[in-house]
Amino acid sequence: MKPWLPSALLILCLPATAGQIDQLFPDCRHTAGYAAPAEMSFNKATVGTSIVSMTALPSFDVEWAIHITKQSNGTYLLQYLTFRRSVLWTAQAGNPGYRAPASLVKDVIISRELATRLNNLVVAAIDAARKQESGYDVLDGIDYLFRAQGATCAEVASPPAGSQLKDLTNLFEALRHLAQTDPDQRRQEEQAILRTALGFVWRSSPTQPAQNRS
């Protein structure tokens, strides 16, 4: 269980299935306040103009984020941000005015094509976000907060296997790995991620055809 969460946020829901939950929850109202110290530190360390970002808040591990940014010279940067230890799993995290320490950052230049595709996917997912009656559990697992242009936010907690939400979080997990990959292997890994992203078509409703996984 996450520490210090207000009782209003202790939402215990029935287990989610791919048929129940396959869209993000809008506005990040479940976790934005809890996530604020980590997100403020990540944003402070971000270089360039934010295109899209994802913040991951594991219940029992260190918080981390992926930021895709555009630089003044026109290049695109993948930034993997994290901490040496959890900054939210502390007694101080719930205190007014609490500030997380500086982030650890790894930067990788990525192609414009990949940055654009990631932007399109996240914007489509946020645009399709809707209120849902069940499935959000902020007690355990991992909360994922997605932002477009540094502002608009939508979220999901531990998406079910087989859902497009799980595919989306897996894509950002792959970006996390890319940022830590040896330089001589990055090109090949980036191309594999790009192929996955290009074959990923966001469905805004369950009646739409399944995404292309080729």
Return the pLDDT at 9.
29
**Which element (helix H / strand E) includes 38?**
helix 32-45
Return the pLDDT at 167.
95
Strand order from edge to edge, sheet including 104-110: 25-26, 152-157, 142-148, 49-58, 64-70, 76-82, 104-110
Return the pLDDT at 99.
76
Determine the Cα–Cα distance for residues 147 and 97; give it in Å rounded to an integer: 23
Return the pLDDT at 54.
96
Query: In this structure, is residue 133 part of a structural domain?
Result: yes
Query: In this structure, is residue 132 part of a structural domain?
Result: yes
Q: How many domains in the chain?
A: 1
Determine the Cα–Cα distance for residues 106 and 210; give it in Å rounded to an integer: 35
Query: In this structure, is residue 213 part of a structural domain?
Result: no
Return the pLDDT at 165.
94
Return the pLDDT at 1.
37
Query: In this structure, is residue 15 part of a structural domain?
Result: no
Nearest to 60 by CA among 142, 169, 166, 121: 142
Determine the Cα–Cα distance for residues 206 and 20; give it in Å rounded to an integer: 10
Query: Residue 102 is part of which domain span?
Result: 20-198
Query: In this structure, is residue 121 part of a structural domain?
Result: yes
Query: In this structure, is residue 12 part of a structural domain?
Result: no
Q: Which residues of the chain have pLDDT under 70?
A: 1-21, 91-96, 131-140, 150-151, 205-214
Query: What are the pLDDT digits (tens) for 82-92?
Result: 998 888 777 66
Query: In this structure, is residue 42 part of a structural domain?
Result: yes
Query: What are the pLDDT digits (tens) for 45-67?
Result: 999 999 999 999 998 889 999 99
Return the pLDDT at 92.
64
Q: Are 168 and 78 in contact (CB under 8 A)?
A: no
Q: What six digits make up the tokens of 89?
A: 């799993």
**Which element (helix H / strand E) includes 54?**
strand 49-58
Q: Is 64 helix (H, G, I), strand (E, B) or coil?
A: strand
Angle between helices 183-198 and 112-127 (to 10 degrees): 40
Return the pLDDT at 20.
52
Query: In this structure, is residue 154 part of a structural domain?
Result: yes
